[in-house]
Every structure is written in C-alpha cells, then in structure tokens.
Structure 1
Amino acid sequence: MDQDSRAVCEQLDRALVESGMSQAAFAAALGTSASRFSTYRSGRTRPTAQFFLRAGRIAHALHAAREYRIMTAPATAAAIREASDDDWAWRMLLQGRDHLRLLLRRHDGSEAAWEAAPATTGRAGFDTLLAVLTAHEFEAAGEEPPEWSRAEALAEPWIPEHPFLDRDEIVEQTPAYLARANIFVPARDLMTA
C-alpha cells in the first residue's frame, strides 16, 4: 500500500474513533454500508475525495456536539426511539430541532453533525417529520439540507391526536411544508418555550 493510501486509511480510522459511533452506525450516518466502509478503512477500496473529506468533517462535528451535549440527528432519532411515550418523543424531537437551530446560527461548520443520517426512530411518521424539520431548518438558514433529509411524503396522512383541536383544525393550522409531507401538526405545537 502506498503512503497516500495508508494516510487515507489512518484518517478514516481516526474519523471513526472521533465520531464516537460504531463502524456500522458511522457508515450508515455517512450513507454507506459497514462492509463498504471497512473496505475503505483497510485500503481494499479507495473512497472518493468527497466521501473522505465528508467523513472527517462529520466525525469532527459529531465529536464537538458530544462534548457540548448538543443533539445530532442520530441522537435525536435514538431519543425518540427510546422515548417512553409520545409526549417525551415530541420533546426530544423539538429539543433536537432547537439544537440544530443553534448550530446553524453559529456558522462554524458544526451543523455538519446534522449531516449524519440517523437510524430509524421506529415510526415512519417521526422518521419523516425529523427529516422534514431538518430540511426546513437548513433551508431557513440558507444552507443546503443534508441528503438524508430529502424524505418522501408519507403514503397516508399522519395526524397525531391533539388534546384541544379536531382533525380539521389540525389540518388548517399545519404549515405547508409539513402538509406536503402528509404530516399534520399545528404550527404552535412546533414552538418551544
């Protein structure tokens, strides 16, 4: 193996460690398989320059997010998946979204932590909602949304139950960007204190 190939392998190993994730989770966060990532790390296959740079940038951002206790897309999805009830899942979703907003305001590259694709929340509605909210926040900040956040609309409308509003009121009060994804949540329920 030549010197440059060895350096690429070493940098990918460092990126994996810095990410704080398992090889499978980090590979998925980068949009590839664990086996493909393994071939990059061993030097059997050469990654593209874009993949190589992206792996380092995202790993660094994930590390910084962990140090500052900032939620990332993978952490938000895990918190939703582990939530004991829907109320807690919503809190985790909105907390993650608020952390993304904070990172996007910094303009220092730390928003790359949200480029890491999350695993499933275990519920199609929350998976799509997390993707749509993420894309919306990136677009609102004038940034290109991560690839993973380009979600297809749900096949069936998702209208979570509401304590005060009926279905028609929920639909009427849903922002257009959510309605396009076939998700119906009143705008006020997306606000945090």
Structure 2
Amino acid sequence: MWPVKLDQDTREVVALLDAALADSGLTQVEFAAALGTSASRFSTYRSGGTKPAAVFCFRARRIARALAVARASRLMSAPATAKAVRAADDEEWAWRMLLQGRDHLRLLLERRDGSAAAWEAVPATTGSAGFDALLAVLARREFEQAGVEPPTWCEPTRLPQPWVPEHPFLDREEIITRTPDYLKKLNIFVPARDLVTA
C-alpha cells in the first residue's frame, strides 16, 4: 500500500511532534504518557493519520522544550523523578530522589522562564502508591506556593490504607503525631522535618 500524501499543514504538525519527541529526551511511549495520551494515539499523530488539536501540539512543544532545558541544567523533571524513585535500590535512596526532584521543581519555578513545564509532564508510577501520592502532593504545593496553577496529575488521591513508612528514629505514633495535616488528609504519614530537604 502506498503511503498517503500529506498536505503541507499536516507535514508541519508531524515535523513539530517529531521535533518535540526528540527534544523531550523520552521514548515515544514515555512522551505520549507525559502528554496524557496513549502511545498508539501519539503514533497516529506523528504519521499524519489523525490530526491533533492545536493545543496538544503547542503543549507538546512547550513541555518538550522544558524537558530539554531541565535535562541540560541537570535538574529533574517529574518523569525523571518518578523513574529515579522507581529505580532506587532501597527506600532511603527513594526518599532522596523524591526530595531532590521536589527541590529541582522549586528551582525551575524560581527561574520563571517556562522550564517548570518539565513538571507538567505526567510521570509514570514510582511503583508505590504511597510515593506516587506523595510526589503529587509535594509537586502541587510547590506550584501553589509559586503562584502557578498545578498540572492536573498533581491532584493527589487519598490512599485507601494509611501509609506510614518505617522511620529510623521514630515509632509509628510519633510519625503520625509529627505529620502535617495536609498529608494526614491523604492517609500519608511522614514527619514534616523529613520533608525539609534532600
């Protein structure tokens, strides 16, 4: 079967999405997920078989550029943070990666140059419902404190069961007592002091 001849506008959309994918530094599957769509749908956009909305194209370009800036600056994006937490050999390293990512978001927000859009990219799961929820709520707080509307993926979901990660110095009751209210509401129990810095 012969390939379908694409009109000029469709060719430009395909070129824009190809460039965005390259800039993102992600695989097609990862970039599609980061944009909140499926890999198969994104593939039809890139082939010209389906025409995406203009807002999708602009969003893809903006997020891809922000991912490239974050990567060049050695700052973690939301997908990179989730990936680092998932790849951690132990829970202590997972915590470090989570808080380092949160701190990098703070730095990107302080720049006010659009590079914080690297955190609009929807992250894959960390492999832990607790870490997923904590990543979402911490990112949301950073966006809100910077006066920037949080991305939709930052809407945290209350965990069905309490998540009380083990602590090297505190027992369960002390952890619960020292947890901020905004986390308690989500059934996440982490002492406020443990969230101060990576």
What TM-score, normalized by structure 2, do the two folds share? 0.94
Partner of 1:38: 43
Please state if 1:104 is matched with 2:109.
yes
Partner of 2:3: none
Gaps of 5+ in 2: 1-5
CA distance in 1, matches of 2:169, 2:75: 32
Counterpart amino acid of residue 177 in structure 1: Y
Aligned length: 193
CA distance in 2, matches of 1:125, 1:54: 29
Counterpart amino acid of residue 187 in structure 1: A
Partner of 1:68: 73
Partner of 2:17: 12
Shift of 1:176: 1.9
Shift of 1:63: 0.7
Please state if 1:170 is matched with 2:175.
yes
CA distance in 2, matches of 1:82, 1:155: 25
Shift of 1:132: 1.0
Counterpart amino acid of residue 75 in structure 1: A
Which digits, 9 at most, give the CA deviation of each residue in 1:19-60, with x for residues without a partner? 111100000000000000011111111111111110000000
Gaps of 5+ in 1: none
The 5-angstrom pairing of residues 41-190 of structure 1 reads: 41-190=46-195
Q: In structure 2, the residue corresponding to 1:192 is in which secondary structure?
A: coil
Shift of 1:4: 1.3
Which digits, 9 at most, give the CA deviation of each residue in 1:50-98, with x for residues without a partner? 1111000000000111111101111111111111111110000110000
What TM-score, normalized by structure 1, do the two folds share? 0.96
Q: In structure 1, the residue corresponding to 2:81 is in which secondary structure?
A: helix
Shift of 1:189: 0.3
Partner of 2:31: 26
CA distance in 2, matches of 1:85, 1:49: 43
Structure 1 segments, 4+ long, off by >4 Å, are none
Which digits, 9 at most, give the CA deviation of each residue in 1:106-149, with x for residues without a partner? 11100000011111111111111111111111111111111111
Counterpart amino acid of residue 107 in structure 2: L
Shift of 1:179: 1.4
Q: In structure 2, the residue corresponding to 1:121 is in which secondary structure?
A: coil
**Identity, % of aligned pairs?**
68
Counterpart amino acid of residue 27 in structure 2: S
